[in-house]
């Protein structure tokens, strides 16, 4: 059981890092500078208009959802 719990914790950490890198940072840069970070543009391309903030919000939402599912599995 301990190995699976630590594996789930590790997966949650990776998801959090990806969510911050591809969600939170690009969203903040979009609001401040009007452009996204390099990793975001590399993966999703250049997003303009409404999609400029919708895509990062979706990345953040999916990240939260995955972390919640893993947390529930860890407690089961």
In the chain, where are the structural domains located? 2-75
Predicted confidence (pLDDT) per residue in 39-50, tens digit: 999 999 998 889
pLDDT at residue number 3: 67
First CA to last CA distance, the chain: 11
pLDDT at residue number 37: 87
Give the H/E segment covering residue 60: helix 51-75
Output the pTM of the full model. 0.88
Predicted confidence (pLDDT) per residue in 48-75, tens digit: 889 999 999 999 999 999 999 999 998 8
């Amino acid at each position: 059981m301990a190995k699976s719990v630590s594996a789930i914790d590790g997966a949650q950490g990776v998801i959090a890092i990806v969510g911050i890198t591809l969600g939170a940072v690009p969203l903040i840069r979009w609001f401040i500078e009007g452009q996204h970070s390099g990793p975001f543009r590399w993966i999703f391309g250049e997003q303009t208009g409404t999609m400029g903030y919708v895509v990062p919000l979706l990345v953040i939402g999916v990240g939260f959802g995955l972390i919640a599912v893993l947390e529930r599995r860890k407690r089961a």
